[in-house]
């Protein structure tokens, strides 16, 4: 019998203890499933940058729509209720106040907007502007600036040789009251004044916005668009349809000197003038109420043409060096601004006029001894403005030195300044800018020798500013000199002064023969306003602007007039009081050679009082250059004159600065 082999027992017991867990594998499976489920529920997702951006945009939009809903749901009077709870009850708007007094619309009103505040729209353009027919390129939302910046600059620029439309481009002014009521959504220009005039009965039949293309020279607005003829016809129509009542003209900013040009044009014989005859203004105009008028120019225009800067832009350049000069979004920002603005002939209308006689020389200026004011001065109070104790320690500025290369030059005695003549200097070849034709400015035609010559002359007064600009931008100034003049007439009977280039300069032309007409100079004061600059050379680089304001130049005292390379005086932040007020304070006061018929003139200054909180918006007592258009006192003065009042009934002159004292320091034959 075969032997039976026993199978070897396995190491593990095949019969486990009944006290032990009979199904360990099943338990493990349950634990694994529970663990997976737990991990799935508690898993932390990694969001991409795009996801985060979408969530952020969504949150911002949700909050925005919620706030917009709440704003529309709240009562219309709620913001005013909150503001009055904080700062006290609001006064009645000027229109309501005058209506309660029984004032009504009487004289037709004509508004003349200033530079950059009037809307411009596209009528013809290149392919990059397809779909934008009659859409605003200037004013409104400015959407095309960031959508297509290079194309926008191309269409906003004029021809560099003719100062007119480039081939294939037609940009024209917006017409009607909407042309300049708001500059951008929520930023009013004429809207508040128009609304208050409407309170006393004005409407479009007796209000007219004399919109024009503010980029063009004044005479070219007639050549291209017949704008001056349209203004003449509209004024004649409004006077005829309002029972023969003369018009009240309200120009603002550059519109002031534009209308000064108009008053000479309308009476001059055709074809240069409008052929209205020597008594046209006497028959059709009751008063000209000039708001923030740069009669004698503004130093700010010099900085803009010389280096595409002003005080604010210079401060930005100091905070973020190189940003405005760099190829930002494929556009060299300042270079393109300079290229574009230098094609606008109108900017040259605001170069300071009168030379050293008006603005001062190396060693003097009319505002000599000026110190920043602290606190208000009462109406017609002859006492000097209040100044802080530290203001007396400030070194007074040499305002006559409009451009100085270095703070030491701006403060040095004139006998210690060594100047090397720049006129006739050899400009040479500017190698650094040979590749920059896409952002061409006339500095690209200047060599290093020319740039060095400008800096080595060291200081420029108003009498030398025109020659400086002719040296650095000869093509621009060649166009400008055909349309504008900046001197003082020795003999106004000289036939040469019948040319239109002199008509916007009050020192080279006569006021019309209209003894019953009134002229007002209305402007804000109490705000530091640019008067002179400290410059330095910019380090050489590709496509660079060689000069810039030296923002490191400051006064030792906080109350000084020199801050961030800019000397300031009293004014409305844009126009110094001297430029806005001199002609009505002295040049036209009484019968003078500039005012042979003795038109009455009034100086009305409005002391700046900023809003006390953000709920007041831009305020109702502002003296700032544009915000003054919402100044209740100024609006009330306008309504009263439009309703028939005279300057004497307004109270005559209203002065807070030393404009009469400054005017007396100017030695001008009258």
Tell me the catalytic residues. 253, 572, 625
DSSP string, 23-81: -HHHHHHHHHHHHHHHHHHTPPP---HHHHHHHHHHHHHHHHHHHHHHHHHS-TTHHHH
Rounded distance between C-alpha atoms, residue 488 and residue 500, angstroms: 15
Burial 404-414 (b: 16+ CB within 10 A, else e): bbbbebbbbee
Place of tokens 């003349």: 112
Cα distances from 512 to residues 49, 110, 341, in angstroms, run 68, 18, 32
* Six token digits for residue 424: 């006739």
Place of tokens 């002031």: 256
Rounded distance between C-alpha atoms, residue 484 and residue 163, angstroms: 13
Rounded distance between C-alpha atoms, residue 464 and residue 238, angstroms: 45
In DSSP terms, 654 is beta-bridged to 604
User: Which bin fits 504, alpha (ψ -120 to 50), beta or left (φ > 0)?
Assistant: alpha
Cis amide leading into 271 (omega within 30):
yes
DSSP assigned state of 321 = T
User: Which bin fits 260, alpha (ψ -120 to 50), beta or left (φ > 0)?
Assistant: alpha
CB of 495 closer than 8 Å to CB of 514:
no
* Six token digits for residue 64: 């925005």
Helix (H) or strand (E) holding 587: none
């Amino acid at each position: 019998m075969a032997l039976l082999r026993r199978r070897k027992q396995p190491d593990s017991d095949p019969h486990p203890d009944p006290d032990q867990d009979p199904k360990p594998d099943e338990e493990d499976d349950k634990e694994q499933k529970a663990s997976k489920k737990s991990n799935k529920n508690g898993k932390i997702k990694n969001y991409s940058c795009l996801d985060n951006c979408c969530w952020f945009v969504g949150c911002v939009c949700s909050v925005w729509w919620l706030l917009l809903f709440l704003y529309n749901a709240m009562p219309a009077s709620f913001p005013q209720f909150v503001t009055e709870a904080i700062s006290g009850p609001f006064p009645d708007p000027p229109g309501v106040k005058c209506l309660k007094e029984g004032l009504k619309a009487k004289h037709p009103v004509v508004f003349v907007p200033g530079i950059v505040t009037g809307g411009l729209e596209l009528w013809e353009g290149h392919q990059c502007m397809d779909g934008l027919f009659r859409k605003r390129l200037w004013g409104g939302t400015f959407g095309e600036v960031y959508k297509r910046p290079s194309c926008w600059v191309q269409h906003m620029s004029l021809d560099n040789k003719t100062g007119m439309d480039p081939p294939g481009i037609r940009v024209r002014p917006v017409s009607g009251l909407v042309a300049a009521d708001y500059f951008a959504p929520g930023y009013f220009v004429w809207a508040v004044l128009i609304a208050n005039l409407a309170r006393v009965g004005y409407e479009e039949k007796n209000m007219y916005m004399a919109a024009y293309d503010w980029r063009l020279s004044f005479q070219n607005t007639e050549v291209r668009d017949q704008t001056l003829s349209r203004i003449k016809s509209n004024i004649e129509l409004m006077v005829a349809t309002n029972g023969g009542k003369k018009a009240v003209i309200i120009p603002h900013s550059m519109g002031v000197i534009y209308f000064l040009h108009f008053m000479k044009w309308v009476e001059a014989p055709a074809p240069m003038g409008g052929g209205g005859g020597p008594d046209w203004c006497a028959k059709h105009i009751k008063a000209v109420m000039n708001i923030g008028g740069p009669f004698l120019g503004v130093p700010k225009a010099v900085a803009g043409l010389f280096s595409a800067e002003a005080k604010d832009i210079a401060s930005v350049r100091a905070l973020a060096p190189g940003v405005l000069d760099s190829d930002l979004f494929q556009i060299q920002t300042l270079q393109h601004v300079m290229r574009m603005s230098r094609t606008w002939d109108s900017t040259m209308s605001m170069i300071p006029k009168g030379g050293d006689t008006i603005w001062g020389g190396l060693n003097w200026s009319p505002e000599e001894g000026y110190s920043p004011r602290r606190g208000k001065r009462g109406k017609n109070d002859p006492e000097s403005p209040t100044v802080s104790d530290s203001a007396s320690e400030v070194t007074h500025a040499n305002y006559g030195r409009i451009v100085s290369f270095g703070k030491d030059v701006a403060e040095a005695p004139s006998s210690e300044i060594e100047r090397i003549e720049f006129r006739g200097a050899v400009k040479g070849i500017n190698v650094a800018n040979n590749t920059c034709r896409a952002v061409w400015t006339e500095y690209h035609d200047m060599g290093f020798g020319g740039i060095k010559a400008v800096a080595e002359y060291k200081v420029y007064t108003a009498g030398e500013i025109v020659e400086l600009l002719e040296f650095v931008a000869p093509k621009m100034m060649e166009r400008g000199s055909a349309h504008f003049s900046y001197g003082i007439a020795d003999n106004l009977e000289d036939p040469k002064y019948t040319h239109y280039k002199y008509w916007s300069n009050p020192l080279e032309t006569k006021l019309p023969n209209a003894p019953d007409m009134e002229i007002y100079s209305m402007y804000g004061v109490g705000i530091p306003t640019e008067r002179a600059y400290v410059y330095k050379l910019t380090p050489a680089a590709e496509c660079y602007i060689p000069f810039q304001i030296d923002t490191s130049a400051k006064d030792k005292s906080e109350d000084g007039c020199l801050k961030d390379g800019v000397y300031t005086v009293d004014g409305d932040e844009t126009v110094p009081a001297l430029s806005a007020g001199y002609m009505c304070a002295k040049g036209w006061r009484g019968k003078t050679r500039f005012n042979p018929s003795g038109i009455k003139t009034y100086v009305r200054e409005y002391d700046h009082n900023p809003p006390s909180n953000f709920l007041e918006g831009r305020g109702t007592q502002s003296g700032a250059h544009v915000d003054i258009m919402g100044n209740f006192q100024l609006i009330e003065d306008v309504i009263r004159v439009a309703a028939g009042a005279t300057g004497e009934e307004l109270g005559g002159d209203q002065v807070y600065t030393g404009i009469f004292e400054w005017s007396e320091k100017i030695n001008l034959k009258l």
